[in-house]
């Protein structure tokens, strides 16, 4: 009787042990399966993100080159080469279509092969980069799916700017760019000595006493920050200096009127230019041989045509575009008594991309040396 009970108990115990083993085994498979699923999905998403980032950057690199070399015959080849170079730098191996082969790696983000399809529009203003790659699966392999294709595409454009935030309150007449002595990479004077106001060439453009200083907060027509001309010319030096150091904080668009300011404002000009020059934290300091685009020494100046005139003064100018200028120096001319007679802002006009809203309807890619590069799709 006792033996029988012991045997039953042992049998039950063994049955229970067996059941527990089965539960553990099932749970183990489920856990492994779940982990594999997480790994598969994670791997897929990571690869898609990496490919997406790479084609975005490649398209932007291609569009940037199209802006830089828009006048050259083989601009399309340059753009494609730049995009491909960017893909390689991001640790992709470019293969021709149909040669992706088997996905080798099971690791998350190490180098994979990518099929690229790069197209450039007829007008050389738009570049589209499409990429395909393959991702190996853990769990899906059990289900007969060992890998799947991940795709990403990006389109970037290059157009001139139609609006820019952060221009400085000193501009340049559009006709400057047509002068025989003008050139990118040549030293230029941005602000004019007042006594040159009546001299020939573009220096007489704004009339007597006008040195090229602007008040972007005013149209010269009596609105917003606009006060009467006398008051604007007598006051607002602090505003002018702040607008120069930080860039005017509102958007200026092509077609906008900007009020002119009479006089030299030597003090504010000196303080503002020196502040920008000192804000360069790059080593060596930015110069024409090497500069960073985002440096405070690089300023965006409105390019203008003559606006309205009152008496012999041009009271405002009309914005027609935007130029990029590298600040190099502030200089002063002294009169015979040692007083400051006039001051100048010296530097170079630069060619290259700027931040701003693009104008896809413009007939040219680059206006006054500048253009906007952006992802359009």
Q: What residues are paired with 173 via a beta bridge? A: 304
CB of 349 to Zn ion, least distance (A): 17
Region of 13-21, 178-186, 200-208, 286-294 interacting with Zn ion (CB under 5 A): 286-294
Q: Is 275 in the site for Zn ion (CB under 5 A)?
A: no
Region of 108-116, 122-130, 209-217, 293-301 interacting with Zn ion (CB under 5 A): 293-301
- What secondary structure does DSSP assign to 283-321, as a single string? SSPPBTTB--TTSTTEEEEEEEEE--EETTEE-EEEEEE
| Integer Cα distance of 374 and 377 in angstroms | 9
Count of chain residues binding Zn ion (CB under 5 A):
4
CB of 291 to Zn ion, least distance (A): 6
**Among 55, 87, 280, 299, interactor with Zn ion by CB under 5 A:** 280
CB of 77 to Zn ion, least distance (A): 32
Question: Of residues 294-313, which lie at the interface with Zn ion (CB under 5 A)?
Answer: 295
Helices (H), the chain: 2-68, 75-89, 139-142, 229-234, 237-246, 266-278
Q: Is 286 in the site for Zn ion (CB under 5 A)?
A: yes
CB of 182 to Zn ion, least distance (A): 25
Question: Of residues 85-104, which lie at the interface with Zn ion (CB under 5 A)?
Answer: none
Q: Is 211 in the site for Zn ion (CB under 5 A)?
A: no
Contact call for residues 326 and 135 (beta carbons, < 8 A) = no
State which residue, 284 or 338, has the beta carbon closest to Zn ion.
Answer: 284
State which residue, 74 or 294, has the beta carbon closest to Zn ion.
Answer: 294
| Integer Cα distance of 172 and 260 in angstroms | 12
| Integer Cα distance of 259 and 310 in angstroms | 12
Please tell me whether the peptide bond between 284 and the residue prior to it is cis, using omega within 30 degrees of 0.
yes
Half-sphere exposure of 165 (CA within 13 A, CB side): 4
State which residue, 69 or 282, has the beta carbon closest to Zn ion.
Answer: 282
Name the site residues for Zn ion (rule: CB under 5 A).
280, 282, 286, 295
């Amino acid at each position: 009787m006792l033996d029988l009970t012991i045997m039953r108990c042992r049998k039950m115990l063994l049955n229970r042990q067996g059941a527990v083993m089965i539960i553990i085994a099932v749970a183990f498979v489920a856990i492994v399966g779940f982990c594999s699923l997480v790994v598969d999905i994670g791997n897929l998403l990571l690869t898609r993100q990496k490919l997406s980032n790479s084609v975005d950057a490649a398209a932007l690199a291609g569009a940037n080159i199209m802006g830089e070399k828009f006048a050259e015959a083989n601009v399309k080849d340059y753009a494609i080469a730049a995009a491909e170079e960017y893909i390689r730098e991001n640790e992709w191996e470019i293969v021709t279509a149909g040669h992706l082969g088997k996905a080798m790696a099971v690791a998350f983000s190490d180098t994979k092969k990518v099929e690229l399809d790069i197209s450039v529009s007829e007008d050389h203003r738009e570049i589209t980069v499409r990429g395909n790659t393959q991702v190996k699966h853990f769990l899906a392999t059990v289900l007969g799916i060992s890998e799947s294709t991940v795709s990403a595409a990006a389109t970037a454009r290059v157009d001139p700017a139609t609006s820019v935030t952060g221009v400085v309150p000193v501009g340049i007449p559009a006709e400057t760019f047509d002068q025989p002595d003008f050139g990118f990479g040549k030293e230029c004077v941005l602000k004019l000595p007042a006594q040159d106001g009546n001299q020939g060439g573009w220096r007489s453009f704004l009339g007597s006493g006008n040195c090229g200083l602007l008040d972007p907060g005013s149209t010269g027509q009596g609105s917003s920050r606009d006060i009467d001309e006398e008051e604007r010319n007598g006051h607002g030096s602090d505003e002018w200096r702040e607008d120069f150091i930080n860039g005017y904080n509102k958007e200026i668009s092509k077609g906008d009127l900007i009020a002119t300011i009479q006089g030299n404002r030597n003090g504010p000009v000196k303080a503002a230019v020196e502040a920008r020059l000192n804000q360069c934290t790059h080593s060596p300091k930015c110069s024409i041989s090497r500069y960073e685009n985002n440096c405070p020494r690089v300023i965006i100046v409105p390019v203008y045509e003559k606006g309205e005139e009152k008496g012999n003064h041009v009271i405002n100018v009309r914005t027609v575009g935007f130029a990029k200028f590298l600040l190099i120096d502030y200089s002063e001319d002294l009169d015979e008594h040692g007083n400051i007679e006039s001051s100048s802002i010296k530097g170079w006009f630069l060619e290259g991309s700027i931040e701003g809203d693009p104008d896809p309807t413009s007939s040219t890619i680059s206006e006054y040396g500048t253009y906007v590069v952006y992802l359009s799709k």
